[in-house]
Amino acid sequence: MNLSLVDPFVLAQEYPDTLTEKLSSGHATCLSFNHKGDYLASGRVDGTVVIFDIETNGVARKLQGHTRQIQSLSWSRDGRYLLTSSQDWKCILWDLKDGSRVRTVRFEAPVYIAELHPFNHLLFVASLFEDQPVLVDISSPKPVKRILPSAPLRASGEDLDPAAAAKQAAQDAKHSTCVTIFTAFGNHIIAGTSKGWINIIETQTCTTIHSMRLCNGVVILLHLASNGRDLLVNSSDRVIRTVLMPDLSQLGINLEPSAIKLQVEHKFQDVVNRLSWNHVTFSSTGEFVTATTFMNPDIYVWERSHGSLVKILEGPREELGVVEWHPSRPMVVACGLETGCIYTWSIVSPQKWSALAPDFGEVEENVEYMEAEDEFDVHPAEQVHQRRLDQEDEEPDAVTLELVKGDGDADGVEPFSLPVLLNVEDSDSGEDVVAVGPGTMRRRTPGAAKEGVNGDEKPAANGTSRGAARRRR
């Protein structure tokens, strides 16, 4: 309802410019907004998942179940379920209505990234550390795992000579999938491999229908824009690529699998410093690409129409890890690698003082005031009052709601509202981990025994995470 009153120039601003908030609850390592954009889930190194209310910047819920660092978070479309994956080899699906665990799925390896199907919260894909990626159906209490292929699809049909075929097979065996995501409708899975290939896998059959070599390095991250057609790829060759995807929902109708073509639109890289990118994301509309850099506290924002750098967000003095863009507002959140704090950049609009005094107006330059002839005429108060009353002759409609386009309910999702827990802070036990230096943490509460345990455990967890990240590069 506020759109008609807000300064249009503020609304027209499409990317944030100032550091506005710092959220802190433990050491956060990954972040994810729900689709509506009112809650932000953060996963911590100690395995706790904290859900922040963006409106109050307070903790809305805490989920405890993992024992190691959280690797990824994925919201269901209605915002009721949250899938978390962790280095403790588990994925947990949470019901946020009461904070209970719907399903817990164990794997044989640490999980890189797990993502929920966009429409079915009982189906997800997970890419595992040095293991094959799996599609997991958790509609029954016993999860059904189907292994997804990692090897790229080779042009078949013509006969290769046996030597070449053997070589190819050996090469294919070296592929391991690092990241898997669903397409917008969930009919296909996009997978990125350690050899820089992108595979498109049909969800129904778990077969690869298209493969393409994108780069030489490891594909670290895939991210699909909200329109479902633009793919963002971060790879270890220090180049961020945006890829235009064909409309896969047209497969079998207007599009043959053989006709699929992935076209690289832009390559974003730092030519001078050869920076590598920690994490990349699209803006809410996909018009901007945002990345955090290795060993550098800045966030880069490129616009996509020309591929030019438009903004470098500055603020904290630490290297930033995961960066996420709010699904509807020009707002960017990122978490610091050292402190685990969550930083928020958004737009600060100045107070228009004319809004405070209705009989004043803001003019850009001096205007000569023309006094009206009747300006200082005195009319009897009753007459003025009566005339005013007589003019109230319209037919106001105080009831009918005007549906704003794109208000979220368009795709028929039953809106879920997270219950407001008045005692969420009482159950808090994780606020006491504080960073004392790079990569080291201790508990805030004095206690020798605890401190000893922690001193051993926390840097170890952090070390493994760094190690894992490096190996993926």
Near other proteins in 419-448, by CB under 8 A: 419-425
Q: Does 5 bind other proteins (CB under 8 A)?
A: yes
Using CB under 8 A as the binding rule, the residues of this chain from 148 to 187 that contact other proteins are 184-185
CB of 282 to other proteins, least distance (A): 12
Q: Per rule CB under 8 A, is residue 382 in the interface with other proteins? A: no
Helix (H) or strand (E) holding 462: helix 448-472
Task: Choose the binding region for other proteins from 100-108, 136-144, 195-203, 371-379 (rule: CB under 8 A).
Answer: 371-379
Report the residue from 402, 414, 437, 470 that binds other proteins according to the rule CB under 8 A.
402
160 vs 348 by CB, closer to other proteins: 348
Find the shortest distance in angstroms from Cβ 373 to other proteins.
4
Q: Does 271 bind other proteins (CB under 8 A)?
A: no
Under 8 Å between Cβ of 288 and 15 = yes
Alpha-carbon span 111 to 181, nearest angstrom: 14
Report if residue 412 touches other proteins, rule: CB under 8 A: no
* Nearest-angstrom CA–CA distance, 73 and 47: 12
User: Residue 444 phi/psi, 5° resolution?
Assistant: -75, -35
Q: Which of 163, 170, 272, 399 binds other proteins (CB under 8 A)?
A: 399
Per-residue DSSP letters for 196-216?
SEEEEEETTTTEEEEEEE--S
Rounded to whole angstroms, the Cα distance separating 365 from 125 reads: 60
- Residue 355 lies near other proteins (rule: CB under 8 A): yes
- Per-residue 3-state assignment (H helix, E strand, C coil) for 149-192: CCCCCCCCCCCCCHHHHHHHHHHHHHCCEEEEEECCCCCEEEEE
Nearer of residues 145 and 329 to other proteins, judged by Cβ: 329
Q: Say how far apart CA 215 and CA 261 lie, in whole Å.
A: 15
Q: How far is the CB of 316 from other proteins (least distance, A)?
A: 22
Among 391, 437, 456, 470, binds other proteins (CB under 8 A): 391
Q: Does 273 bind other proteins (CB under 8 A)?
A: no
CB 48 within 8 A of CB 62: yes
Q: How far is the CB of 321 from other proteins (least distance, A)?
A: 26
- Of 157 and 406, nearer to other proteins (C-beta) is 406
Residues 6 or more apart whose CB falls under 8 angstroms from that of 287 comprise 14, 303, 304, 305
| Minimum distance from residue 308 beta carbon to other proteins (Å) | 16
Instruction: Identify the sign of the CA torsion 174, 179, 180, 182.
Output: negative
Considering only 373, 437, 448, 456, the residue that binds other proteins (CB under 8 A) is: 373
Identified binder of other proteins from the candidate list 168, 328, 440, 464, rule CB under 8 A: 328
Residues in 224-243 at the binding interface with other proteins, rule: CB under 8 A: 226-230
List the one residue from 161, 377, 414, 456 that touches other proteins (CB under 8 A).
Answer: 377
**Stretch binding other proteins (CB under 8 A), from 79-87, 148-156, 259-267, 324-332:** 324-332
Are 290 and 280 in contact by the 8 Å Cβ rule? The answer is yes
* β-sheet bridge partners, residue 268: 240
Contact between 12 and other proteins (CB under 8 A)?
yes
Assess contact for 126 and 134: CB atoms under 8 A. Answer: yes
Q: From CA 445, how far away is CA 44, in angstroms rounded?
A: 19
d(CA 313, CA 305) in angstroms, rounded, equals 20
Residue 230 · residue 262 · CB < 8 Å: no
Q: Which CB atom, from 159 or from 411, has the smaller least distance to other proteins?
A: 411
Q: Tell me, residue by residue from 54 to 83, as one string, x for binding to other proteins by CB under 8 A and - for no binding.
A: -xxxxxx-----------------------
The residue count for binding other proteins (CB under 8 A) is: 94
Beta sheet of 288-293, edge-to-edge order: 277-282, 288-293, 299-303, 309-313
Q: Which stretch binds other proteins (CB under 8 A): 43-51, 99-107, 308-316, 394-402?
A: 394-402
Report in angstroms how near the CB of residue 227 gets to other proteins at its nearest.
5
Q: Which segments of 337-409 does DSSP mark as H helices, in order?
A: 381-391
Quick check: 56 and 420 in contact, CB under 8 A?
A: no
CB atoms within 10 A of CB 428: 15
Q: Does 406 bind other proteins (CB under 8 A)?
A: yes
Query: Is 310 a binder of other proteins (CB under 8 A)?
Result: no
Q: How far is the CB of 42 from other proteins (least distance, A)?
A: 16
Given 253, 271, 272, 367, the residue binding other proteins (CB under 8 A): 367
